[in-house]
């Protein structure tokens, strides 16, 4: 079977790396891909949101299975379009993708299915929003309704900050029409973690837990980013907590949508806040996490293609996931200046050295291969990923590999995985 992966980041490199290991795959394509992906798949110069061209490509190249990495094409309805054309594709339809595309839709689903989450209210008028802020008192969380590349959520510690967030989103329209409506919700204090499941609409498989590191700098300082590193499993997600997440969040959501006649197929990513050992849903995404996927897939022994096909065709309950017990961590090496402006086209050195290391894999994100040389082409450049017998060993190995890599103004956090280390010691 020919397989097409859509996207160009570290997550897509990890997906291609894992899919390539499947006996079921003849040719692997990635659109548009990146420098690292081009070593293992045929990269096709089509953007991830160009649904028409992707559809034509899939038809012309007898693609038997398409796997979508990022949220934008899902929210734009790529699954509906491919299905109309009789093409096999993995993921939720446009309606269900609203769980990620609209915070209002997601919060309303949480209420309808009685899923534990922060109390909230929806506003389409900035004056009313500000009156509510005065009455409720900070801290509050202000969220643009629509997609905002992970930047549309502001945790406001004071009333002033909350009001400024309303102005930024609703008046200045920082995120365009994504800010026509906002959600204001109570601020929850606890530890965050991610749980990813794959569902066929009825049953589901819970993947190993993970934890992202969203801030740019050590000790969770600095601005928010797409994610500076991740590890799996996340010790904060104990077996008992995972049971609660399945019982209170995953089951009600999947059963709820099934009962409403709009089954959820694909990836459900739950952003959790764990407060006093109780799970609350902060957000839903409808695709694999980035960089969580880079830390999860090296631990997955089961064929990912079988899992994805079961999501499309049904029968996911018949699959048993097998995991490498060893923890895995992924440290993101970013361009100087990220998440702000940064230089591109900077040569990357030392990748060959990491190839010699056992249990280390370097997933490329913003890289390109030009005349045999790897260069930077984005903010997040590489995900240095390592397995270890314990979390300490995995951390040490990943940082040993980071030491071998070098490009101008490279920066990475030095504390990825330390929360896990504190919990297991
Ligand atoms: P979201 O995209 O909704 O997950 O929000 C992005 C980030 O904002 C989360 O990863 C949390 O760090 C933070 N956040 C969102 N909602 C809340 C909340 N109700 N309380 C505290 N922090 C939150
Ligand atoms: N790592 C966060 C996300 O993928 O949304």
pLDDT in tens, 64-118: 999 999 999 999 999 999 999 999 999 999 999 999 999 999 999 999 999 999 9
Ligand at shortest distance from the CA of 106: 1
356: its two tokens: 């010699």
Q: Among 366, 324, 361, 372, which residue's Cα sits nearest to residue 345? A: 366
40: its two tokens: 């293992």
20: its two tokens: 């390539």
What's the Cα-to-Cα distance from 215 to each of 170, 218, 324, 395, 412, rounded to whole Å? 25, 8, 28, 18, 11
Cα Rg for the chain, rounded, in angstroms?
Answer: 21
pLDDT in tens, 197-254: 999 999 999 999 999 999 999 999 998 899 999 999 999 999 999 999 999 999 999 9
With beta carbons less than 8 A apart as the criterion, state whether 180 and 220 touch.
no
d(CA 120, CA 98): 18
**pLDDT, block means (10 residues), the chain with 425 residues:** 98 98 98 97 98 98 98 98 98 98 97 98 96 94 91 92 96 94 96 95 97 95 93 95 98 98 98 96 97 98 98 97 98 96 97 96 97 96 98 98 98 95 81
pTM strictly above 0.85: yes
d(CA 363, CA 15): 10
What pLDDT is attached to residue 425? Answer: 66
Q: How long is the chain? A: 425
Q: Among 107, 106, 123, 53, which residue's Cα sits nearest to residue 82? A: 53
d(CA 284, CA 269): 6
Domains, the chain: 2-90 (3.40.50.20), 125-180 (3.30.1490.20), 191-318 (3.30.470.20), 328-424 (3.90.600.10)
Ligand at shortest distance from the CA of 192: 1
With beta carbons less than 8 A apart as the criterion, state whether 58 and 82 touch.
yes
Q: Within 10 A of 425 (CB to CB), how many other CB atoms are there?
A: 7
Q: 148 alpha carbon to ligand 1 midpoint, in Å?
A: 13
What pLDDT is attached to residue 377? Answer: 97
For atom 16 of ligand 1, the residue with the nearest CA is 282
Q: 125 alpha carbon to ligand 2 midpoint, in Å?
A: 29
d(CA 282, CA 276): 15
Q: Which of 9, 97, 150, 287 to mutate to test the pocket of ligand 2 (most atoms within 8 A of CB)?
A: 150
- Residue in this structure with the two tokens 């109570």, named with its chain if needed: 186
d(CA 371, CA 390): 39
Q: Which of 271, 278, 284, 287 to mutate to test the pocket of ligand 1 (most atoms within 8 A of CB)?
A: 271
Ligand at shortest distance from the CA of 289: 2
SS3 content of the chain, % helix, strand, coil (to 5): 35, 30, 35
Largest CA distance in the chain: 61
For atom 3 of ligand 2, the residue with the nearest CA is 289
Q: Among 244, 328, 325, 240, which residue's Cα sits nearest to residue 292? A: 328
Phi and psi angles of residue 56, each rounded to the nearest 5 degrees, phi first: -60, -45
DSSP string for residues in 340-379: S------B-B-HHHHHTSTTEEEEESSEEEETTEEEE-SS
If you ran DSSP here, which 8-state letter would residue 37 be given?
G
Q: Which residues pair with 182 in a beta bridge?
A: 123, 144
d(CA 378, CA 102): 27
Ligand at shortest distance from the CA of 224: 1
Mention every residue, 6+ apart, whose C-beta is less than 8 A from residue 284: 99, 100, 106, 109, 253, 268, 269, 270, 271
Locate all alpha helices (DSSP H) within 61-120, ordered by sequence: 71-75, 78-84, 94-101, 103-112
Q: 291 alpha carbon to ligand 2 midpoint, in Å?
A: 7
| Residue ranges lining ligand 2, Cβ < 6 Å | 212, 227, 285, 289-290, 292
Q: 206 alpha carbon to ligand 1 midpoint, in Å?
A: 22
Q: Which of 143, 282, 291 to mutate to test the pocket of ligand 1 (most atoms within 8 A of CB)?
A: 282
């Amino acid at each position: 079977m020919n397989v097409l992966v859509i996207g160009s980041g570290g997550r897509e490199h990890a997906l291609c790396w894992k899919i390539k290991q499947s006996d079921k795959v003849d040719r692997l394509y990635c659109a548009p891909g990146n420098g690292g992906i081009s070593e293992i798949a045929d990269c096709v110069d089509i953007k991830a949101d160009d649904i028409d061209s992707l559809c034509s490509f899939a038809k012309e190249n007898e693609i038997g299975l398409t796997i979508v990495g990022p949220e934008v094409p899902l929210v734009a309805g790529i699954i509906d379009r491919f299905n109309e054309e009789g093409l096999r594709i993995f993921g939720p339809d446009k309606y269900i993708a609203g769980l990620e595309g609209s915070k209002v839709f997601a919060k309303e689903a949480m209420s309808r299915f009685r899923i534990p989450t922060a109390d909230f209210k929806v506003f389409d008028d900035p004056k009313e929003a500000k009156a509510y802020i005065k009455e409720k008192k900070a801290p509050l969380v202000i969220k643009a309704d629509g997609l905002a590349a992970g930047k549309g959520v502001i945790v406001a510690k004071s009333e002033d900050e909350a009001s400024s967030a309303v102005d930024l989103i609703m008046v200045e329209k920082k995120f365009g029409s994504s800010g026509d409506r906002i959600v204001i919700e109570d601020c929850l204090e606890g530890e965050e973690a991610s749980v990813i499941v794959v569902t066929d609409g009825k049953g589901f498989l819970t993947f190993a837990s993970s934890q992202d590191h969203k801030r740019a700098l050590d000790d969770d300082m600095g601005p928010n980013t797409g994610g500076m590193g991740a590890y799996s499993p996340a010790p904060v997600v104990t077996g008992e907590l995972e049971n609660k997440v399945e019982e209170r969040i995953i089951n009600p959501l999947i059963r709820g949508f099934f009962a409403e006649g709009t089954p959820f197929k694909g990836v459900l990513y739950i952003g959790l806040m764990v407060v006093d050992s109780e799970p609350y849903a902060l957000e839903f995404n409808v695709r694999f996490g980035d960089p969580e996927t880079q830390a999860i897939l090296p631990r997955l022994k089961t064929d990912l293609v079988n899992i994805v096909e079961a999501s499309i065709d049904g029968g996911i309950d018949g699959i048993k996931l097998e995991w490498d017990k060893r923890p895995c961590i992924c440290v993101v090496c970013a361009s100087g200046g990220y998440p702000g402006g940064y230089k591109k086209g900077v040569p990357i050195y030392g990748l060959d050295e990491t190839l010699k290391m056992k249990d280390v894999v370097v997933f490329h994100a913003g890289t390109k291969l030009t005349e045999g040389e790897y260069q930077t082409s984005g903010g997040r450049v590489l995900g240095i990923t390592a397995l270890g017998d314990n979390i300490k060993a995995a951390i040490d190995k990943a940082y040993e590999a980071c030491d071998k890599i070098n490009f101008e103004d490279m920066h990475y956090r030095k504390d990825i995985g330390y929360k896990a280390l504190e919990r297991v010691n």
